[in-house]
Structure 1
Amino acid sequence: MNLQANFEQIPLKEYAERAYLDYSMYVVLDRALPFVGDGLKPVQRRIVYAMSELGLAASAKPKKSARTIGDVIGKFHPHGDSSCYEAMVLMAQPFSYRYPLVDGQGNFGSPDDPKSFAAMRYTESKLSPIAEALLGELGHGTVDWVPNFDGTMDEPSWLPARVPHVLLNGSMGIAVGMATDIPPHNLREVVTACIRLLDEPDATVADLCEHVLGPDYPTEAEIITPRKELLAIYTTGNGSLRARAVYRVEDGNVVITALPHQVSPSKILEQIAAQMRAKKLPMIEDLRDESDHENPIRLVVVPRSNRVDVEEMMQHLFATTDLEKSFRVNLNMIGLDGRPQVKDLRRILSEWLQFRTDTVTRRLQHRLAKVERRLHLLEGLRIAYLNLDEVIRIIRTEEEPKPVLMARFGLSEEQTDYILETRLRQLARLEEMKINGERDQLEEERARINVLLKSPTKLKGLIKQELNADAARYVDDRRSPLVQREVAQALDESALVASEPVTVVLSQKGWIRAAKGHDVDAEGLNYRDGDGLLAAVKARTTQQVAVIDSTGRSYSTAAHTLPSARGNGEPLTGRFTPPAGASFDALAAGDNDTRLILATDFGYGFVTRFEALTGRNKAGKQLLTLADGAKVLTPVITADPARDRIVVVTGEGHLLMFSVAELPELDKGKGNKLIDIPKKQMADGERVVGVAVVAEGKGEVTLYAGQRKLTLKWADLVEYGGNRATRGGVLPRGLRRVERIETTG
């Protein structure tokens, strides 16, 4: 026996390609994308049809959801019961569907947790009233019927929707290589756009957007996308739009009353609370969820004080939480040609109107065939009445009366069968009158149907009339207001930090920390073994802190992010990546416009704005150009560069005071010479040990030389005044080995 005859041998590449394409087409056409005609995916269509077959109309008593799902998966949709039930639940959630197709009784989830619905054995369901707009014409010859998965019964290929359901409830789905994101719309707007297109077949997308103003979600959140962008979405079939929560101010508190579609209140609370824990929302004191049955969404945000700018606070929350959310729009659906395509608004409505025209035509033709068949039967019955005695005689005397009657009166087989099945009591005179009346009515109806079928104009009129009737029956007001607003921007990080005084401490080995307050004894803090104080600077938590390394590069970080002084801090090498072998030598803090004097011990310096020291690069940026062997001195602040004086002192006891205005203001570089140090003295090791700034006419500096110190007041400093780059005056003999200088007044 040759077993190979039972198998088809094909290359693996060809088999894999064919199998993947078959699967892709199945997912696209039979699972993920809706049909433009009824706007349903196959699982949704089968659920609605199965419920109608179970008699679960809007006026009927509901049945257990498990009964419905059992019928769906047993007869039409051989997939998992949980996924099928979830699809039904989605159609019953008023916060998920703009026009729910299922009326659910029991726990069908909540806006806070849409998937918290009870198991199907606990819930009951039936169709909602608007489902009639999908099913009402099902038995009128309007759809094609196909065998179900096992061939034991037929199911409809689509439902004869009387309204453009594809836009009303929208759809979301992920196929293979494509996806769909159709937002829901308002019934009245879509119907009026359809009527406009019927009246004006050449209407543009812009014309139709005079009626379809934008999506209409189940929630009352605002759609803030500009009208121009909405028009672009409907023109291309692609784009995105933004929805924003609605709030009002009550007794100084912010009350959020509506959230964007599919945004959970608990997630919003979690997002805001996380920022509060991270101390990124200093303007908020408390957060409460006061939602109840009467107020499905009521989130209360309590500002820290009445000085908080509520509008500014909410803009930040919009930008940093899902209170403002972007929605993808991708109008991808299966068209009348059976192919998936991204369609613009005009194409969608045109195809749906063609679908509706075909549906109404089939319905009329189906009814016309029934009317003509009934008239045909009534005509045979009328002949029998006119020849009643002869008909009775033939039936009584002939062994096979059927062919005799057909030959004698020219009847069809169908007419003859109907005559022979007529009961004796229907032969009364009154019945004859009823038959004549019915025939007249049917002939009038046949004439009316023929007029509709032969006149496209009258057919359009009928479609418009039915659209208006359905709109009047199911219409409601728009829920999502269209309010054009700018996209929210988050506040600057510094604006979210409470302004508090801190002292930033840098150790000799590059460990940094921040102690609360300005009255901190930096030298008295605990340091790691072999480490000690290098520099300390007063700052505020809203400011940046800059560090300069031994190569002249500057690095910056936010003061509020520094670790507490309770410990040893953290190494700067964890935040920055200085060049190999470089050490951190100087520390500064201030606002962007704060003026600083940067200097080196070789006696060069310049004035710069603090912003020049800041940057986001972990590798820092080159700030000072240093000669070989030069070191960076501690930067000093000058409040008024035009009037302030700079005091420069060298280690050999030379001191010079001159106007800060003599120094250039640079963003980077070497700067100009501050004080003259002759080459011989430079070679012998004389260096600038520090600079200080004093205000004109006041202020004092203190010099430290070993155990000795000297305080020079303004009157003393004037004696050392001179021009920039001169040698300056010589200090008293006991202070010619100066180690450092401080401004003390």
Structure 2
Amino acid sequence: MNSESQIIRTEYSDLMKKSYIDYAMSVIIARALPDVRDGLKPVQRRTLYDMYELGIRYDRPYRKCARIVGDTMGKYHPHGDSSIYEALVVMAQEFKKGQILVDGHGNFGSIEGDGAAAMRYTEARLTKFTQEVCLADLDKNVIDFGPNFDETEKEPLVLPVRVPNLLVNGAEGIAVGMATSIPTHNLGEVIDAVKAYMKNDAISTKQLMKYIKGPDFPTGGIVVNKDDLLNIYETGQGKIKIRGKVEVEDLKGGKKQLVISEIPYTMIGTGISKFLNDVANLVETKKTTDIVDISNQSSKEGIRIVLELKKGADVENLKNMLYKKTRLEDTFGVNMLAVADGRPETLGLKKIIEHHVDFQFELATRKYQTLLTKEKEKSEVQEGLIKACDVIDLIIEILRGSKSVKDARACLVHGITDNIRFKSNISKKMAALLRFTERQATAILEMRLYRLIGLEIEALRAEHEQTLKNIARYEDILNNYDSMAGVIMEELDAFKKEYGRKRRTVIENAEEAVFEEKKIEEQEVVFLMDRFGYAKTVDISVYERNKEAADSENKYVVHCMNTGRLCIFTDTGKMHQVKVPDVPHGRFRDKGTPIDNISNYSTSEEQIIMVCDAEQMRFAYLMFATAQGMIKKVEGTEFQVTKRTIAATKLQDGDSLIAVKVVNDLQNAVLRTKNGYFLKFPAADIPVKKKAAVGVRGIRLQKKDELEEVYLFEEGTETKILYNEKEVTLNRLKQAKRDGAGTKYRG
């Protein structure tokens, strides 16, 4: 081993902990959460800056998104191209952002969940808003730049955004152990709130809410819990209830239709098709009979979902049903988490505005310091040129008598006349008195002759006067809080005038949606399920008229109440519950619906071995039998549960449930194996166990044999079954004890 090498012993858990914390902080700070100052995540910031660098401005032609994504990935964002393109697409979607930051050209997706076209087909450029509000003054040293991932480029650590973009455009992101969810707000209202804070930094959240009424979603809608907003904006957390906008339109013949013209923000995407399916389901399950037709007439002009109603429909009750049973009323979870001062923090409304205003003063300070420096340099040059014009003959004499630029510069700056030939000693003495600055000397040496025209000299003096005014103005802005605040507020007023728009979302306190479900008249029905798993219920009279066909065509026929529940036992040892009202009720020849559509049962993972009425097994015992020969009895009350799916029994490894039957102690049980062994014993010998127990052995199985069927019959009744196409009379079998080997049937 090298004498200089050293082994450092570290606790493995400590190493893992440190590595995971580093990873988590990387995700939180550098990927998932926006910065409170510009309201942007790193991928958004890098994409916008790259477009700015490529010159893809609002007044220039669109460029392929593939070019933008590739350039961003190569220079600033070393992650997958899909993450960059998805960020670009979202910034261009009007239905997701309060103010779009990218002007997209082509298919950028739709509010109904259609995805954007591939980036090789779409084009984009910056919007005027982004250019003027988010990227202005980048040349005035207003923000810090840092090295990119390979230190070959410089990228902005934050963009100089002039409005609280975190509030205007909101944010959504999932980090490690935390998530952010900030709603969008109205630009004009946010600007008014910022101005109010700048005038009085002791303003309360309640007073700020005189300006910011609440969220303003691009999809409109109605916020119905206005009273909860104050607490949400103070704490930065809470739940906002949003409803879609529903209007009633009259049709011919006294009929009406409901028109949904605005949807909750949370319904963007697949939520619309889910809503349509939910409404259709309400009609199919007869929760409502008032809707006769559903149509989605949405277009580029906006959302328009039409529900045509039957004559005499209870419109208010139906509205409330839609709010309660579908996503027409939904909840937007607010968690205003952002990166502030380099660490994640949950921020209230006032805190966000406070951080924004501090950032604006920092931007303004750096901007006007840069401008002041430039104006002072300009003033210095102008003073030198004006002074030079007064002694222009002497300067021309110096230039003509110099052997090099170096000699001429030395004379202008330091009065050194040694290497210059003058016409007279007076000129030499005057030249020795010159003391121009380096910058003035450079300007004089580069000055063109036309600047000596009288009008040009006057223009130079006027320009110098303006420069002095600018210097005085910039110094006033930098040294006076009110002056700087005034400049910032002027900019905000200009942004509000150009980009402000009317509020889309209504804020109000609405009553809780209450609707009366029509009570189902309780009656007995018959549940029918065929071998393909299609299920339905029919009236008992319908069943009686078609009894023979019903029994032969269906695998399960169960008498039950239309208000009850059905229990489905599967070979995996699970029990799934189905509410009878969820099973479609109709005519005998109706196809029905797949049982896996209305229950947790999975056709690909398990097989049904029994269906029974939950009420009927309440006072009974159920016998369970498995392929490995394990049996037990369980009280039916153990299955009176509210969960949709439970474990009905415990199975050993590699075992499966083959039978569940209602049993009583007066019956005999016959177990039949795959290889033809029969064992008959009293059902009373089967012990009662809990549903979580494995049970006891019912039959001793031979090698490579398994239990295949269980029969129950009462003593004194002749019960015949078919086995290998031959009749077997069960009650003639020899009586034995449980846990025997059974007798091989020879025929």
TM-score by length of 2: 0.68
1:502–1:518 CA contact under 8 A, matched in 2: no
Aligned twin of 2:470: 445
Question: After superposition, where does 1:178-189 map in structure 2 within 5 Å?
Answer: 178-189=178-189
Measured in 1, the distance between the counterparts of 2:282 and 2:28 equals 41
Render the CA deviation track for 1:637-657: whole Å, top value 9, x for unaligned.
Answer: xxxxxxxxxxxxxxxxxxxxx
Deviation at 1:106, TM superposition (A): 0.6
Distance 1:269 1:372, change over 3 A: same
Aligned twin of 1:403: 410
Deviation at 1:463, TM superposition (A): 1.7
Measured in 1, the distance between the counterparts of 2:643 and 2:12 equals 52
Aligned twin of 2:83: 83
Q: What is the number of equivalent residue pairs in this alignment?
A: 560
Deviation at 1:475, TM superposition (A): 0.2
Render the CA deviation track for 1:119-173: whole Å, top value 9, x for unaligned.
Answer: 1111111111211211122222211111222222222111111111110000001
Distance 1:490 1:43, change over 3 A: farther
Among 228, 252, 257, the alignment partner of 1:253 is 257
Deviation at 1:59, TM superposition (A): 1.7
Among 280, 292, 313, the alignment partner of 2:299 is 292
Distance 1:101 1:7, change over 3 A: farther
Render the CA deviation track for 1:441-483: whole Å, top value 9, x for unaligned.
Answer: 0001111111122211222222222211111111000011113
Deviation at 1:262, TM superposition (A): 4.4
Q: Match of 1:111, SS?
A: coil
Gaps of 5+ in 2: 416-433, 528-535, 553-557, 567-577, 590-608, 624-639, 645-747
Aligned twin of 1:417: 442
Measured in 2, the distance between the counterparts of 1:407 and 1:461 equals 44
Question: After superposition, where does 1:314-393 map in structure 2 within 5 Å?
Answer: 314-335=319-340, 337-393=341-397
Q: Calculate the aligned-residue CA RMSD, in Å.
A: 3.7
Aligned twin of 1:674: none
1:459 maps onto 2:500 in alignment: no
1:516 maps onto 2:539 in alignment: yes
Q: Match of 1:176, SS?
A: coil
1:221–1:481 CA contact under 8 A, matched in 2: yes
Question: After superposition, where does 1:483-562 map in structure 2 within 5 Å?
Answer: 483-489=508-514, 492=517, 495=519, 516=539
Distance 1:6 1:323, change over 3 A: farther
Aligned twin of 1:102: 102
Distance 1:381 1:90, change over 3 A: same
2:241–2:330 CA contact under 8 A, matched in 1: yes
Deviation at 1:69, TM superposition (A): 1.4
Measured in 1, the distance between the counterparts of 2:348 and 2:333 equals 15
Amino acid of the structure 1 residue aligned with 2:494: A
2:542–2:588 CA contact under 8 A, matched in 1: no
Distance 1:321 1:371, change over 3 A: same
Amino acid of the structure 2 residue aligned with 1:325: D
Distance 1:149 1:8, change over 3 A: farther
Gaps of 5+ in 1: 506-512, 530-534, 547-555, 584-614, 620-745
Deviation at 1:501, TM superposition (A): 6.6
Distance 1:545 1:185, change over 3 A: closer
1:31 maps onto 2:35 in alignment: no
Higher Rg? 1
1:33–1:333 CA contact under 8 A, matched in 2: yes
Deviation at 1:564, TM superposition (A): 8.5
Deviation at 1:389, TM superposition (A): 2.3
Measured in 2, the distance between the counterparts of 1:545 and 1:362 equals 72
1:504–1:515 CA contact under 8 A, matched in 2: yes
1:501–1:518 CA contact under 8 A, matched in 2: no
**Worse overlay, 80-89 or 573-582:** 573-582
Distance 1:138 1:491, change over 3 A: farther
Distance 1:561 1:356, change over 3 A: same
Amino acid of the structure 2 residue aligned with 1:359: L
Deviation at 1:387, TM superposition (A): 2.1
1:140–1:363 CA contact under 8 A, matched in 2: yes
Aligned twin of 1:478: 503
Aligned twin of 2:314: 309
Distance 1:571 1:330, change over 3 A: closer
Among 431, 450, 454, the alignment partner of 2:456 is 431
Measured in 1, the distance between the counterparts of 2:59 and 2:362 equals 29
Amino acid of the structure 2 residue aligned with 1:237: G
Aligned twin of 1:243: 242
Amino acid of the structure 1 residue aligned with 2:498: R
Distance 1:387 1:618, change over 3 A: closer
Render the CA deviation track for 1:97-126: whole Å, top value 9, x for unaligned.
Answer: 111011111111011114x21111111111
Q: Match of 2:138, SS?
A: coil
Measured in 2, the distance between the counterparts of 1:109 and 1:523 equals 52
Deviation at 1:89, TM superposition (A): 0.6
Distance 1:42 1:575, change over 3 A: farther
Q: Match of 2:21, SS?
A: helix
2:294–2:307 CA contact under 8 A, matched in 1: yes
Deviation at 1:43, TM superposition (A): 0.9
Deviation at 1:16, TM superposition (A): 2.4
Distance 1:9 1:443, change over 3 A: farther
Measured in 1, the distance between the counterparts of 2:71 and 2:611 equals 67
Aligned twin of 2:279: 272
Aligned twin of 1:658: none
Distance 1:523 1:177, change over 3 A: closer
Q: Match of 2:507, SS?
A: coil
1:21 maps onto 2:46 in alignment: no
Deviation at 1:286, TM superposition (A): 2.1
Deviation at 1:3, TM superposition (A): 9.8
Distance 1:521 1:125, change over 3 A: closer
2:193–2:212 CA contact under 8 A, matched in 1: yes
2:564–2:614 CA contact under 8 A, matched in 1: no
2:193–2:211 CA contact under 8 A, matched in 1: yes
Aligned twin of 2:233: 234
Amino acid of the structure 2 residue aligned with 1:425: Y
Q: Match of 1:326, SS?
A: strand
Distance 1:64 1:312, change over 3 A: same
2:64–2:122 CA contact under 8 A, matched in 1: yes
Distance 1:174 1:523, change over 3 A: closer
Aligned twin of 2:575: none
2:565–2:613 CA contact under 8 A, matched in 1: no
Among 572, 578, 582, the alignment partner of 2:618 is 578
Deviation at 1:212, TM superposition (A): 0.7
Amino acid of the structure 2 residue aligned with 1:516: D
Deviation at 1:57, TM superposition (A): 1.8
Amino acid of the structure 1 residue aligned with 2:258: V
Deviation at 1:292, TM superposition (A): 2.8
TM-score by length of 1: 0.69
Measured in 1, the distance between the counterparts of 2:462 and 2:292 equals 81
Measured in 1, the distance between the counterparts of 2:180 and 2:10 equals 35
Render the CA deviation track for 1:489-542: whole Å, top value 9, x for unaligned.
Answer: 5654x54x5x5975679xxxxxxx97527799699889989xxxxx999x8x5x
2:284–2:584 CA contact under 8 A, matched in 1: no
Measured in 1, the distance between the counterparts of 2:451 and 2:2 equals 71
Measured in 1, the distance between the counterparts of 2:187 and 2:559 equals 68
Measured in 2, the distance between the counterparts of 1:618 and 1:452 equals 68
Q: Match of 1:282, SS?
A: coil
Render the CA deviation track for 1:404-430: whole Å, top value 9, x for unaligned.
Answer: 221122222222222222223333333
Measured in 2, the distance between the counterparts of 1:195 and 1:560 equals 56
Render the CA deviation track for 1:656-682: whole Å, top value 9, x for unaligned.
Answer: xxxxxxxxxxxxxxxxxxxxxxxxxxx
Deviation at 1:302, TM superposition (A): 2.3
Amino acid of the structure 1 residue aligned with 2:230: L
Measured in 2, the distance between the counterparts of 1:27 and 1:618 equals 38
Deviation at 1:334, TM superposition (A): 1.3
Measured in 2, the distance between the counterparts of 1:261 and 1:77 equals 30
